[in-house]
Copies of this chain bind each other. A is one copy, B any other.
Amino acid sequence: MQTQLLIHSPGQMLEEMRAQAPLVQCITNFVAMNIAANVLLAAGASPAMVSAQEEAGEFASIAGALTVNIGTLSPLWVGGMKSAAKAASEHGKPWVFDPVAHYATTYRRAVTAELVALKPTIIRGNASEIIAFAGSKSGGKGVDSGDAARAAEGPALGLAKQLGTVVAVTGETDFVTDGQTSWRIHGGSPLMPRVTALGCSLTGLVGAFAATRPEKPLDATVAALALFAVAGEAAAAQASGPGSFSVAFLDQLAAIDAATLDAQARIEAA
């Protein structure tokens, strides 16, 4: 299996990512802009928040990967998302789709259908978001997940097979699958959902790893999630609440080295 070698060393992929410092084009929401850029910089990547339809497609051709998050949608931005996603596909660049609360409004459902049709390399969402793709009734309330990650594993597998993409469900335990091989990543902290836009930032980080190893999107996703989980656990040990957690989390994303990541990542075959 393509994943076996790499999964034994997400640390190796972290080292490669830092050596490349890949340029990641992030079209993300207004809430996530700053923290997502800081997460990528802390981890060692080079984020660029280029979203306007006047330039998003041109920029996607020079970036190493693209991430698209629909948290704060509007028609002008959707134009940028679509031209960037098309350009990424044309130039063989991986692109990651983060369908924030795509089930919540008619408009969001329509835009999501258009973006999925542009064949994302990787889809990352919370349990409610992934379950909603399967048409199941979701417990999602607004933008937060009302569903347990485990309940989303079946829908994630189905979605991965249907679209031929990697699907990541993140939550208390993460689940990643390409429809054939699947992994669970443990770690993180209950403080993480108390800080806004960490999921969106994780999408950016998945983009950074996918840019580093575009031929291995499943492994890249697992490595990104493992770094997040290990950094989250380490940060929680230093934090007194969501404010100090955020600070410690950025410090940890920068401080964790390959050996620490490999020693502390808890990844199991699913």
Interface residues of A (CB under 8 A from B): 21, 23, 25, 29-35, 37-38, 41-42, 46-52, 54-55, 58-59, 62-63, 71-76, 101, 104-108, 141-144, 193-197, 239-244, 246-255
Report 25 cross-chain contacts, Cβ distance below 8 Å, ordered by A residue: A29-B49, A30-B33, A33-B34, A34-B35, A37-B196, A41-B194, A41-B242, A42-B241, A42-B242, A42-B243, A47-B143, A48-B101, A50-B72, A51-B74, A52-B74, A54-B74, A59-B104, A194-B254, A240-B255, A242-B250, A243-B248, A243-B249, A244-B251, A246-B250, A247-B247
Known: A50-B72, A241-B255. 10 other contacts (CB 8 A): A23-B141, A32-B34, A38-B196, A41-B194, A46-B141, A55-B106, A240-B255, A241-B253, A243-B246, A244-B251
Q: Which residues of B contact A50 (CB under 8 A)?
A: 72, 104-105
Complex-state Cα separation, A227 to B73, whole angstroms = 32
**Cβ–Cβ contact A71 & B42, under 8 A:** no
In the complex, the count of this chain's copies comes to 3
Partner pick for A31 among B33, B72, B108, CB 8 A cutoff: B33
Q: Which residue of B lies closest to A24 (CB)?
A: B142
Q: Which residues of B contact A47 (CB under 8 A)?
A: 142-143, 196
Complex-state Cα separation, A75 to B239, whole angstroms = 41
Q: Report, nearest first, the 6 A-B pairs whose CB atoms are least far apart.
A: A241-B251, A243-B250, A37-B196, A55-B105, A48-B142, A243-B247
